[in-house]
Structure 1
Amino acid sequence: MRSELRSNSTKISLPNPNLFQNTRGSSLSGALRGTLGSLDGACIEKLLLHCASALESSDVTLAQQVMWVLNNIASSNGDPNQRLTSCFLRALISRASRLCPTAMGFHSTAANSLTSSRPMSVTEFAGYVDLTPWHRFGFCASNGAIYEAIEGHPKVHILDLSITHCMQWPTLIDALAKRPEGAPFLRITVPSTRPPVPPLLNVSIEEVGLRLANFARSRDVPFEFHVLKCPNSSANVLIQNQLSPSSLVLREDETFIVNCQSWLRYLPDEQEGINSCKPSSKDGFLELILELNPDLVTVTDEDSDLDSPSLATRTMACFNYLWIPFDALETFLPKDSPQRMDYEADVGQKIENIIGFDGPQRIERLESGAKLARRMKKAKFSSVQFCEKTVREVKFLLDEHASGWGMKKEEDMLVLTWKGHSSVFTTAWAPNGFQE
């Protein structure tokens, strides 16, 4: 008898082992008793913990047994728990197949692709961003901090390091067009490369720049758009070679802003580099940014620690965090919505990288806002508080979305919440001694 894994892509077959015949039978029996077909999150969490622990100890037989149970719970078109389980199961299977492909009974190829998501049109991408405040929260809060920092300044240069294809900037351009003292000259610089992660766009960054320039022209905002060319597709190589005053063409009469949206997580920790001072590391990156003397640095990212060296710990943290988008989408989109499936597939791709890989192949290295704040202070940056106007604008934005979304204001950041659980943080920073 064989059972099939339901997924958005190819089906994978798992053998049906005797679930309770194992050297760890008693503990496994306790974890599995009554869970077959159960949708309880706590039961699923226990199963995932057993499976991840088994893979860490190279116990493929035990992992296979637990995955068979998960396979009977998972469904890519079921309720949020089933859909989330389906993503985790695929990630665990891909990891197990590399550990012992013969025992798993199949060879996985999908796990090696981080760019399998379908590129979207600009219109589709705008709809994707508008589904939830997951991205727009950071856009709104960061733009508010930037607007305040450049008040009265005639020339502004923004270095935009993000994965969201400049979707943040039309709103800022529109706000600058209405500035009482008149719009400043705005220059935006973006890298020619980005981490190979969703969301993907079907037009080039140069085309994005042309569209932004046309929009700025329609708002009478003087505008320039520059692309930092990098011959290598690695964002780390860009950081090492391109972030210098000469390559950025920094000008003394410009207010210089660095905007980081979901970017730092794709830089490795220090121990992953060849040496502890490697510029591509998170701390090395912040050292380079400090040397550029920015007037403001904004950082937005997902508020969870998903970079533990332990697979079991990483799996639990990931499960207890990434239920949020699955639960939120359930509140307003039908189960077979193409938009919902695309969004969840992108989250599944993230899960697959976090769970399925280690070393350089694991590029998702998310850390919490609190950890980021400590890192920024260590790098000689001081927190810049968000003004009340920005807080009001963020709250107004959240009112446009489904109930359940909220915001909390912490010491160094604004945090987007879903049903009280932290999801995304935004922070603003200035080099020590540079705040007005």
Structure 2
Amino acid sequence: MFRRQKHISHTKAIDRFPLTQGLIYLLNLETHIPTDKTLALQSHPPIFTGRVSSTQLSLSSPSSFSLKLLLFPHIFPIFTAMKTEVRGSTTSISLQNPTTIFNTSQGASLTGALKGCLGSLDGACIEKLLLHCASALESNDVTLAQQVMWVLNNVASSVGDPNQRLTSWILRALISRASKVCPTPMNFNGSTSSSTIPTRLMSVTELAGYVDLIPWHRFGYCASNSAIFKAIQGCPKVHILDFSITHCMQWPTLIDALAKRPEGPPLLRVTVPNWRPQVPPLLNVSSEEVGLRLGNFSRFRDVPFEFNVIENSSSLELLFSTQLNPSSLDLQDDEVLVVNCQNWLRYLSDEPLGGSPGHQDGSMRNTFLNMIRSLNPRIIVVVDEDSDLSAPSLSSRITTCFNYMWIPFDSLETFLPKDSTQRMDYESDVGHKIENIIGFEGHQRIERLETGVAMSQRIRNVGFLSAPFCEETVKEVKGLLDEHASGWGMKREEDMLVLTWKGHNSVFATAWVANGPNPNGLLMED
């Protein structure tokens, strides 16, 4: 069911959001990278602008689909009756006579309740239209799909309210699915079949602002770092195996905390894979350069530090087959292993691979978890978005997507103006996720979220026990949320911590220990 809007007081301005001392120092290191490392800092490609050339149509914003329809009217003939209105840099489409659509033979299917949705901004009505469109596409009723898209296009706006902005991205994804023209599918090896996917490469400073904008990522950082810090108390050597999409942005805070340990800091090793799903946020520096910056900060805080990139892991297949073992990871007998999974497991397919022996359904996700279990880590922390977007049914995914992806659009509305570049960039990153969820099937659909409850059961099934978060962690997370709009909250569900927006689940955080001997020979229990 669609949510009613609630008034949110926002007493803390965005420019007052504090970055940690460690993060600030990390950002300042940008000008201190050795000379041979500076080229990558200066050579990132330009951001796509949405301009159309004679040979290529860029689809970097929701409004550009209207240009595609004008350039390729044979794809959707019914759209040629529309009138184009250009307001500033935004192209919108409106009906010359909205009621005439229902008086034609083409519009005979759009009757009853759908008539009342024409031009409506009501969320329930928009959701109904989206589901009618999905149903038409699933049944190959192209005519009905065209008609519903026409109506939706009068509601959607990339510069409107949160409902309109979200709808514009879902509509773009539906048109993408119908036309098979855009966007370019993302493959699991990180490559693309052409260069039409918009690429926004961030500097480290821009990435820090991205992470700090809303607590979507910082919530997971805070909960995970607190659990890790508790688990490695008294350990002289710590090895973190980091699977994350945010380029090690959570570690300066942990390094700063380790520097203050009464017993002194441990020797800290961080290992990251060379492979990473090509999804936002993308950084304009390499993993090696990120490691250099972390090393500089660690020296500043007097924390012994090593950074390793797993080579020959340019694909998941290579990573799984050759790299996830004690020898390749150079695991030491006298070090404690920590595994960190931040918004990463969703990109491992949950579909069977053909029945791998002993791995339940043989999915890539279960195979990965079994491999991690075989490494016998002291603790594994798993953070991801708390929603089920893996359903085979397009209609089910649209319903969930409309009621879940609304959260970032609505939260940004509380403190950023409608034409804010920062807001539109963030929404664009969410929009490309929506396109993959709705526009593709099979191996091309890489966004495969499952709920925290489902993920927790999956992790239990491979032999981990839940490690509940302590009250100190809860206190730290609540302190973090106090820095943001009052709509953000936190709750416990079983042993999970869940970030909420206006009461709706957003992100979950969990911690796990091996169900058996840990590296010190002790049995870990709930």
TM (norm. structure 1) is: 0.92
Cα deviation code 1:247-301 (max 9, x no counterpart): 1111111110000001110011132x24445876111111111111111000000
Taking the TM superposition and a 5 Å limit, the aligned residue runs for 1:69-218 are 69-98=151-180, 108-112=181-185, 115-218=197-300
Q: Secondary structure at the match of 2:276?
A: coil
Match status 1:318 vs 2:401: yes
Q: Secondary structure at the match of 1:364?
A: coil
Question: Which amino acid letter does the alignment assign opposite residue 297 of structure 2?
Answer: F
Q: Which residue of 2 aligns with 1:101?
A: none
Tell me how far 1:8 sits from its aligned partner: 5.2
Question: Which amino acid letter does the alignment assign opposite residue 68 of structure 2?
Answer: I
8 Å CA contact retained: 1:240, 1:280: no
Taking the TM superposition and a 5 Å limit, the aligned residue runs for 1:221-236 are 221-230=303-312, 232=314, 234-236=315-317
For residues 366 and 321 of structure 1, the distance between their equivalents in structure 2, rounded to whole angstroms, comes to: 11
Unpaired runs of at least 5, structure 2: 1-58, 70-75, 82-99, 187-191, 519-523
Residue 8 and residue 276 in structure 1: after superposition, are their counterparts in 2 closer, same or farther (change >3 A)? farther
Q: Secondary structure at the match of 1:7?
A: coil
For residues 321 and 109 of structure 1, the distance between their equivalents in structure 2, rounded to whole angstroms, comes to: 23
For residues 413 and 380 of structure 1, the distance between their equivalents in structure 2, rounded to whole angstroms, comes to: 17
For residues 31 and 219 of structure 1, the distance between their equivalents in structure 2, rounded to whole angstroms, comes to: 64
8 Å CA contact retained: 2:370, 2:462: yes
For residues 349 and 281 of structure 1, the distance between their equivalents in structure 2, rounded to whole angstroms, comes to: 23
Q: Which residue of 2 aligns with 1:7?
A: 62
Pick from 127, 137, 151: which aligns with 1:45?
Answer: 127
Q: Secondary structure at the match of 2:121?
A: coil
Tell me how far 1:12 sits from its aligned partner: 2.9
For residues 257 and 22 of structure 1, the distance between their equivalents in structure 2, rounded to whole angstroms, comes to: 63
Cα deviation code 1:376-401 (max 9, x no counterpart): 11111100011111110000000011
Match status 1:282 vs 2:365: yes
Residue 280 and residue 244 in structure 1: after superposition, are their counterparts in 2 closer, same or farther (change >3 A)? farther
Unpaired runs of at least 5, structure 1: 99-107
Q: Which residue of 2 aligns with 1:105?
A: none
Pick from 322, 326, 330: which aligns with 1:249?
Answer: 330
Cα deviation code 1:196-243 (max 9, x no counterpart): 1001000001100000000111000000000001253x3354233311
Match status 1:328 vs 2:383: no
Residue 54 and residue 91 in structure 1: after superposition, are their counterparts in 2 closer, same or farther (change >3 A)? same
8 Å CA contact retained: 1:80, 1:323: yes
Tell me how far 1:178 sits from its aligned partner: 0.7
Q: Which residue of 2 aligns with 1:364?
A: 447
Q: Which residue of 2 aligns with 1:346?
A: 429
For residues 188 and 31 of structure 1, the distance between their equivalents in structure 2, rounded to whole angstroms, comes to: 57
For residues 335 and 389 of structure 1, the distance between their equivalents in structure 2, rounded to whole angstroms, comes to: 38
Structure number with greater Rg is 2
Q: Which residue of 1 aligns with 2:33?
A: none
For residues 318 and 423 of structure 2, the distance between their equivalents in structure 1, rounded to whole angstroms, comes to: 34
Instruction: Report how many residues are paired.
Output: 420
Tell me how far 1:9 sits from its aligned partner: 4.4
Q: Secondary structure at the match of 1:189?
A: strand
Tell me how far 1:180 sits from its aligned partner: 1.0
Question: Which amino acid letter does the alignment assign opposite residue 262 of structure 1?
Answer: N
Tell me how far 1:25 sits from its aligned partner: 4.1
For residues 462 and 115 of structure 2, the distance between their equivalents in structure 1, rounded to whole angstroms, comes to: 50
For residues 43 and 22 of structure 1, the distance between their equivalents in structure 2, rounded to whole angstroms, comes to: 23
For residues 183 and 371 of structure 1, the distance between their equivalents in structure 2, rounded to whole angstroms, comes to: 36
8 Å CA contact retained: 1:303, 1:423: yes
8 Å CA contact retained: 1:160, 1:189: yes
8 Å CA contact retained: 1:19, 1:66: no
Cα deviation code 1:361-386 (max 9, x no counterpart): 00000000000111011111100011
Q: Which residue of 2 aligns with 1:355?
A: 438
Q: Which residue of 1 aligns with 2:11?
A: none
Question: Which amino acid letter does the alignment assign opposite residue 12 of structure 1?
Answer: K
